[in-house]
Amino acid sequence: MALVGGIPGILAAGSGSLCGMSPFSRHMSSLPLSHIRLTDPFWSRWQRTMVQNGLLAQYDQLVKTDRLKNFERVAAGETGGFEGYRFNDSDVYKWLEACAYSFGNGSLEPSADLKTKVDHTIGVVACAQMPDGYLNTFFQLMHPELRWRNLSMMHEMYCGGHLIEGGVAFFDATGDRRLLDVAIKFADHVDSRFGPGKRRSYCGHEEIELALLKLAKATGERKYRDLALWMVEERGKRPSPYLDEMIDEESIKLAPYMEKMLCKDGEYVGEYLQDHAPIREHTEVVGHAVRAMYLYIAAAELAMDMDDAALSDALTRTWRNLTHRRMYVTGGIGPSGDNEGFTFDYDLPNLSAYAETCASIGLVFWAHKMLEATGESEYADTMERALYNGALAGISLDTSRFFYDNPLESRGRHARSPWFGCACCPPNIARLIGNVGHYAVGVKDRCLLIHIPVGFEATMELGGVKTKVRAVSDYPWSGDFTLYIDPERPVDGEVRFRIPDWADDVETDIPGLEREAEFESGYIVVRKRWEPGDIAKFKIEMKPRWVAANPRVKDDLGRVCLAFGPLVYAAEEHDLGFEPQLFAADLDIDVAVESATMLEGIQALAVSGVRDGLEFADQLYAEVDDVQIQEAAAKFIPYYAWNNRGANHMQVWIRRL
Ligand code: FUB
Ligand code: ZN
């Protein structure tokens, strides 16, 4: 953490990452979607484009790839002929969830066309549900007699979890409860079969746990929370319920690759799906990255209302392992395509990085939960890192093309695609973009917390007084942030403004402040009586900075990465005119910041250095003394914006002179 404004003690409240701290408790929550509207040029452009373009393009894919048809055919009473992967229903639900946020976030009035498509989709989903609440078009069409036969691999609860999240989101955003009612019926069905005194099992792909927790909040029904807790706690205990599935012929037929995913040397380990140990014994992130994130999101949410140091310690420990040893500088996680997940400490290859878009999105969600549970800024630091880099790189600037995996180097072959056979990432990034206000700003009683200084307009209760808040910002391009706070009458309250871990200096200008701002948990804390029309200004110093990796990350040895504010930068062949792999940066020469009109108004960074010579054109090897290098300039762009001008060479970790 850097020093801030010459004021000592900013690290005072310490980091929540040390074990043995007090158990988690709820330090804040988010504003309802309809109470906050993002207004800065950066996020309002993403959200608008999503409504205008991205959501409609995704709907076309849902139709073209028969994802919707699977529902329509079930609704029509047909059997056989399911199209696609067994978990394709989840893409429809996630798209609906993304639409819900876009309808509620005030970025742009959705077109009648989009509304009709959403309406149709909800109607078809509802019609496909069975009278007992079951809903999964793969099983309904192909194997109605094998429902719930193979939980480790078949994703029935995973799909149901996304249905629940979609239902809750729609209800919250629009008051429309049609999808919520379907979700409740499904959750009741699951609750009637699984749980204490019923069948002991849980889904191989975590998701329903966090969804049930959202449902419990939305409905006030504690039974959903209890079921989620039971699932989280049963996972990893022995004997694993999946052992029975591995000797059940019907279950094996459904997923013949099950044993390969779950066993090592012929013994069940379950690491792939975090069934290796009970949650309180976890020390490292293992297995499939998205699954791990979704489990820890639910566990952190649960830990907030349980006086349970063992659980919060396990989460803190595992978090530390992830962010100190297994996370890319971009907030990408899960380096390996073999298990779509984690390998071992410091294994962070660049060219072959898997770093699934969904995994970074999951990291944003988990970081946000850890932030809510501790109030410590280090979680917001990681949330911001994953949001602006690893996650956002997953989508093209026009919101219509996607990366599934996010390498930190390209030799010209990697390109975004309009859709995938396994299309978890596109609707996932759509739902994240639609709901950014949820992550950027927090509230608690008398307190407004700015985790990420986005521009926004919001209404909130500050110490029980209705208050309008407006934040003007051009983040991530500028660190200037002005808050206009307008309570209906004077009210004692506090504003907490996160000091980013990358910032050297944050200045404040708050007229009428009688005592100096304080520092707690990585936030500047301004306590005062807020009067109608008050203004508070914050200025985060932003300048380009070179970042080095721990030398244990062998792939980054002798290399540096360029960052500016929350953004990690990359060099693309398009701007250099040659492959960035040939370039070596001179760190003694200042990096210049350049406003650019390209790529939706990014700021580019101009770097000086050298490039390898061209004498090798016709030969493979030469004497070192014969090799020339020449001075060169290289323009860097934000990593999230790479590959928007066609496939080409790209590099994040650049050689240094
Ligand atoms: O299995 C469902 C989703 O598809 C996972 O979250 C992704 O990693 C991909 O495998
Ligand atoms: Zn994905």
Would residue 155 count as lying in a domain?
yes
Last residue of a domain, one of 493, 518, 540: 540
Would residue 366 count as lying in a domain?
no
- Into how many domains does the chain fold? 3
Residue 521, domain CATH:
2.60.40
Query: Cα(291)–Cα(287) distance, rounded to whole angstroms?
Result: 8
Which residue reads 């959903």 in tokens? 224
**Looking at the structure, do residues 94 and 172 belong to the same domain, yes or no?**
yes
Residues near ligand 1 (Cβ within 6 A):
87, 205, 290, 340, 356, 358, 422, 424
Ligand nearest to the CA of 406: 2
Amino acid identity of 587? L
Higher-confidence residue: 79 or 624? Answer: 79
Averaged over 234-240, what is the pLDDT? Answer: 98
- Percentage with pLDDT > 90 across the chain: 92
pLDDT of residue 315: 98
CB 440 within 8 A of CB 451: yes
Choose one of 86, 274, 288 to mutate for the ligand 1 pocket test, by most ligand atoms within 8 angstroms of C-beta.
Answer: 288
**Looking at the structure, do residues 122 and 212 belong to the same domain, yes or no?**
yes
Ligand nearest to the CA of 159: 1
Catalytic residue among 99, 203, 424, 425: 424
Would residue 232 count as lying in a domain?
yes
Burial of 117 (0-12, 13-18, 19+ CB in 10 A): buried
pLDDT digits (tens, 9 = 90+) for 407-453: 999 999 999 999 999 999 999 999 999 999 999 999 999 999 999 99
Last residue of a domain, one of 201, 236, 267: 267
Q: What's the CA-to-centroid distance between 392 and ligand 1, angstroms? A: 18
pLDDT digits (tens, 9 = 90+) for 16-66: 334 456 799 999 999 999 999 999 999 999 999 999 999 999 999 999 999
Residue 73 pLDDT greater than 80, yes or no = yes
Q: What's the CA-to-centroid distance between 417 and ligand 2, angstroms? A: 13
pLDDT of residue 631: 96
Q: What's the CA-to-centroid distance between 471 and ligand 1, angstroms? A: 37
Averaged over 259-286, what is the pLDDT? Answer: 97
Would residue 425 count as lying in a domain?
no
Would residue 331 count as lying in a domain?
no
Q: What's the CA-to-centroid distance between 361 and ligand 2, angstroms? A: 9
Q: What's the CA-to-centroid distance between 566 and ligand 1, angstroms? A: 27
Question: Taking the C-alpha atoms of 49, 52, 58 and 61 in order, what is their torsion angle to the nearest 10 degrees?
Answer: -130
Averaged over 568-593, what is the pLDDT? Answer: 97
pLDDT digits (tens, 9 = 90+) for 312-343: 999 999 999 999 999 999 999 999 999 999 99
Q: Quick one: tokens of 268?
A: 């069940």
| Ligand 2 is an ion; residues with CB less than 5 A from it | 356, 358, 424-425
Query: Cα(292)–Cα(295) distance, rounded to whole angstroms?
Result: 5
Catalytic residue among 206, 271, 340, 384: 340
**Looking at the structure, do residues 572 and 480 belong to the same domain, yes or no?**
no
Would residue 378 count as lying in a domain?
no
Q: Quick one: tokens of 388?
A: 């602006």
pLDDT digits (tens, 9 = 90+) for 351-404: 999 999 999 999 999 999 999 999 999 999 999 999 999 999 999 999 999 999
pLDDT of residue 6: 35
Catalytic site includes residue 358: no
**Looking at the structure, do residues 169 and 76 belong to the same domain, yes or no?**
yes
Query: Cα(75)–Cα(167) distance, rounded to whole angstroms?
Result: 19
Nearest to 393 by CA among 382, 404, 384: 404
Query: Cα(483)–Cα(492) distance, rounded to whole angstroms?
Result: 16
**Looking at the structure, do residues 607 and 526 belong to the same domain, yes or no?**
no
Nearest to 287 by CA among 226, 333, 248: 333
Q: Given the CA of residue 425, which atom of ligand 1 is nearest to it?
A: 7
Q: Report the b/e string of 594-623 with b at 16+ CB within 10 A.
A: eebeebeebbbbbbbbbbbeeeeeeeeeee
**Looking at the structure, do residues 517 and 530 belong to the same domain, yes or no?**
yes
pLDDT of residue 21: 66
**Looking at the structure, do residues 526 and 592 belong to the same domain, yes or no?**
no
pLDDT of residue 14: 36
Q: Given the CA of residue 422, which atom of ligand 1 is nearest to it?
A: 4
**Looking at the structure, do residues 237 and 222 belong to the same domain, yes or no?**
yes
Q: Given the CA of residue 288, which atom of ligand 1 is nearest to it?
A: 8
pLDDT of residue 626: 81
pLDDT digits (tens, 9 = 90+) for 485-495: 999 999 999 99
pLDDT of residue 636: 98
Confidence band (pLDDT; 50, 70, 90) for 617? low
**Looking at the structure, do residues 528 and 555 belong to the same domain, yes or no?**
no
Last residue of a domain, one of 267, 302, 337: 267
Residue 13 pLDDT greater than 80, yes or no = no
Would residue 353 count as lying in a domain?
no
Lowest mean pLDDT among 477-481, 524-528, 611-615: 611-615
**Looking at the structure, do residues 102 and 153 belong to the same domain, yes or no?**
yes
Question: Taking the C-alpha atoms of 595, 596, 599 and 604 in order, what is their torsion angle to the nearest 10 degrees?
Answer: -60
**Looking at the structure, do residues 555 and 640 belong to the same domain, yes or no?**
yes
pLDDT of residue 516: 85
Catalytic site includes residue 561: no
Question: 483: which strand partners?
Answer: 471, 536
pLDDT of residue 582: 96
Would residue 341 count as lying in a domain?
no
pLDDT digits (tens, 9 = 90+) for 156-209: 999 999 999 999 999 999 999 999 999 999 999 999 999 999 999 999 999 999
- Percentage with pLDDT > 70 across the chain: 96
How high does pLDDT run on average in the chain?
Answer: 95
Lowest mean pLDDT among 112-121, 287-296, 585-594, 609-618: 609-618
Amino acid identity of 134? Y
Residue 574 pLDDT greater than 80, yes or no = yes
At residue 443, the 3 state secondary structure works out as strand
| Helix spans in 89-196 (H) | 89-104, 112-128, 137-142, 151-154, 156-174, 178-193
Query: Cα(357)–Cα(328) distance, rounded to whole angstroms?
Result: 13
pLDDT of residue 3: 33
Choose one of 340, 356, 419 to mutate for the ligand 1 pocket test, by most ligand atoms within 8 angstroms of C-beta.
Answer: 340
Q: Which domain holds residue 187?
A: 62-267
**Looking at the structure, do residues 140 and 257 belong to the same domain, yes or no?**
yes
